Structure 1
């Protein structure tokens, strides 16, 4: 946890003793460090909230934001070794989705005179550190500008010191900072401009073009933001969210079909399908592994070892799928797709109908997947094959995505429809996951004790499949209400 303050050129760190009983400030340490920040000519990394720097004595550091599903997490970093004059290939590989072939070069050189005071508690534990940075922005050997900032870095257990620390520093002349990191300030105002993909601010009555741009921009931004996490591994949510974004983009291109030039939209959908397949292979393997591992926790202790041996194969499946995905992400085809998507968000190939109010042109496009879903759901019987339930789930997902695409223009009616459709999709998805698990267990059971364990897990998955098969009609009944689809044309 850190709090930054701005200070004037004549600021001096005050005496930090007496803040609380037993809290002792250490001696002031002083040192100078120099760093070079790298970026593209259009400062693309800075505008996306990323940084790539080389600091003398520390080497290379890549900084990037936390995941959207972890809003309270700290900014993430990766360290690299290598020549101070050439960005490491491993760092550039992690940035591939953002760079897309753009040149990376020195963008700002900083010389920082740093003064630090560490505050410790009665038992010598570190509670907080006050860091006073005097930053010189260099152009060659000339100092182009200077600024100064103080940061309070609170360690675990030191939160109670923060109010008194702030008061002491403010008495000495510190004041709230604008929150702009030092390297962004050094890079100049252009570094704080929005990136090439920004959320499209929709007017009260958006046109079809407005919604197309907004949907594509949101989807592509999600792919980019999860790309680094996918490459690093460790958080399955990155693959999941990128897959969702890719599938949603494909669905939106289908929903917006009459507003888009056919060849252009088909080409994008085909390439997005290729990417979705690669992401799906990893995600499906991860879901199956996690599902069966959780199920195996309910087995008797005597069956734990055979189950570990059985399920270890799923770890191998995940790893093989990840290797194929990482190869895909390093292909030029992936970079070309991202470039096409970024261009599509800015200038989609629309038809004349796209200039019409979205509230008029999109409801008929939601009606199409709804009718297909209704026809499939009505045809299902208690003993319908698993494949037919899976097909109905796909249609439910398409109807949901279509309603979500129309919601910015239609409003809460479309949002409610999409929410209930998502409920049907979830129930049928649970059935499909159970069916896939049964198929995997049947194919990998082997013999002996392992086969016995596989049989137990198979039985549990069969129960879950039967439960979801019994549940889906209720989810369908909630969706198949006239009042829920009153906004759709007859």
Structure 2
């Protein structure tokens, strides 16, 4: 069960069970329940490339409610909603990066994002039913059921197949014990299964998208007592997982940092395979290093141009009238970057790259990932 700042608890509600059933059960143990409100919703969640909002316990989404777009932020300070500037409303439907402050985001998200751009993370569409509760102790709670479909940010969710179902219990204010009591009742007496995360996390899991900033599995930590072969496999799987997390963002060219992280992971893997070759099998390690050298070369071609473009920026204010020279240089670099990025994008979507990821994960000892 996930509880964020002792204000939210999440549960999976199986098909065939309804919010009305949950409310009846709560009334039976002394809770009061208000009328159920129902509405359709669409939401596009945003996050920085390195998961800064996630690490601060924040979730930021652009929600379209009754035709009106607004920012909806959940976090330690509770829920904050803010109307989206009219000029940004249409643009926010596209796959773009935003400056948090310029986009009129709530202050906590602006502070957490810092200089990093906000990037589209995942889309949801569905229906919500919610009601207010009064606990036996007099605390005010909110309970809601979301039925939704999810999709990557560049496409709209298709309402096909059974929807994802998430029950949320929220404590707007007051003693956290009231939330714990309600959550314990749902878990122990109604036998509801706690969810591993909120609607955004569930959506990411269903679409196979990574959670930016999420820690790597604890089982991959290298221990002093690990045998060489075990340590080697952990190192390989850690870096392979980091490759997977950065691949989609690199392919969509959302932020240069995705490409940078992917390149770092490939370089570390090449070094690890050279170091641990005897423990992993020299021929297998060399074969994988050859494939990593292939994708690393394509990554390096684009990354070198990104670095040059970045290094040009500080000179803009110093050159004065000679800034036209800078514009020519920038245009030349961008012209060269386009074809290099297309070659890289094709490689990342290829069977060869998918096979490389599967082989790395298999070497690490886990099941191979799905093909992109």
Normalised TM-score (structure 2): 0.52
Tell whether 2:252 aligns with 1:232.
Answer: yes
Q: Give the drift of 1:315.
A: 2.1
Match of 2:37 among 30, 36, 39: 30
Q: Which residue of the partner structure matches residue 341 of structure 1? A: 360
SS of residue matched to 2:346 = helix
Aligned partners of 2:246 and 2:259 also within 8 Å: yes
Matched-pair contact (CA < 8 Å) for 1:229–1:235:
yes
Aligned counterpart for 1:253 among listed residues 260, 273, 277: 273
Quote the residue 1:303 is aligned against: 322
Which whole-Å CA distance do the structure 2 matches of 1:308 and 1:116 have between them? 58
Residues 207, 173 of structure 1: CA spacing in aligned structure 2 closer, same or farther, 3 A cutoff? Answer: closer
The structure that is helix-richer by fraction is 1
8 A contact 2:312–2:326 mirrored in 1: no
Which whole-Å deviations, capped at 9, do the CAs of 1:215-267 have from their partners, x for residues lacking one?
A: 10111010011122212323211100110000110011111133232221111
Matches within 5 A, 1:56-455: 58=42, 67-68=49-50, 70=52, 71-72=55-56, 112-115=128-131, 132-134=143-145, 148-151=167-170, 165-167=172-174, 175=182, 180-181=196-197, 198=217, 199-299=219-319, 301-346=320-365
Residues 263 and 237 from structure 1, CA distance in 2 versus in 1: closer, same or farther, beyond 3 angstroms?
same
For residue 32 of structure 1, report the CA deviation from its aligned partner: 5.0
CA 1:284–1:337 in structure 2 vs 1: closer, same or farther (change >3 Å)?
A: same
Q: Which has the larger radius of gyration?
A: 1
Shift of the alpha carbon at 1:171?
6.0
The 3 A distance-change label for structure 1 pair 209 and 227 is same
- Tell me if the contact between 1:32 and 1:111 (Cα under 8 Å) persists in the aligned partners: yes
Give CA deviations for 1:5-36 in whole Å, capped at 9, x if unaligned: 4797334468xxxxxxxxxxxxx881155xxx
Greater percentage in strand: 2
Secondary structure class of the residue paired with 2:333: helix
**Contact 2:222-2:235 at 8 Å conserved across structures:** no
Q: Is the 8 A contact 1:66 1:73 kept in 2?
A: no
* C-alpha separation in 2, matches of 1:232 and 1:77: 20
Contact 2:270 2:292 in 1 (8 A): yes
Q: Find the counterpart in structure 2 of residue 410 from structure 1.
A: none
Aligned position for 1:4: 8
Describe the SS at the equivalent of 2:144: strand
SS in 2 for 1:213: helix
Q: Contact conserved, 1:112 with 1:133, CA < 8 A, in 2?
A: yes
Q: Report the Cα distance in structure 2 between the residues aligned to 1:181 and 1:218, rounded to whole angstroms.
A: 22
1:104-130 residue CA offsets vs partner (Å, 9 max, x unmatched):
xxxxxx97523489xxxxxxxxxxxx8
Could you list the runs of 5+ residues in structure 1 that have no partner in the other structure?
Answer: 15-27, 34-56, 80-90, 92-109, 118-129, 138-142, 153-164, 192-196, 348-490
C-alpha contact 2:229 2:280 (8 A) present in aligned 1: no
Q: Which residue number corresponds to residue 19 of structure 1?
A: none
Q: Secondary structure at the match of 1:256?
A: helix
The secondary structure found in structure 2 opposite 1:167 is: coil
- Aligned alpha-carbon RMSD (Å): 4.6
Measured in 2, the distance between the counterparts of 1:317 and 1:73 equals 40
Q: What residue in structure 1 maps to residue 17 of structure 2?
A: none
Instruction: Provide the C-alpha distance between the structure 2 equivalents of 1:30 and 1:266, rounded to a whole number of angstroms.
Output: 61
Question: Does structure 2 retain, via aligned residues, the 8 Å contact 1:66–1:76?
Answer: no
Q: 1:257 to 1:313 in 2, by over 3 A?
A: same
Summarize the Cα distance change of 1:255–1:112 in structure 2 as closer, same or farther, 3 Å threshold: same
Give 3-state SS (helix, strand or coil) of 2:226's partner. coil
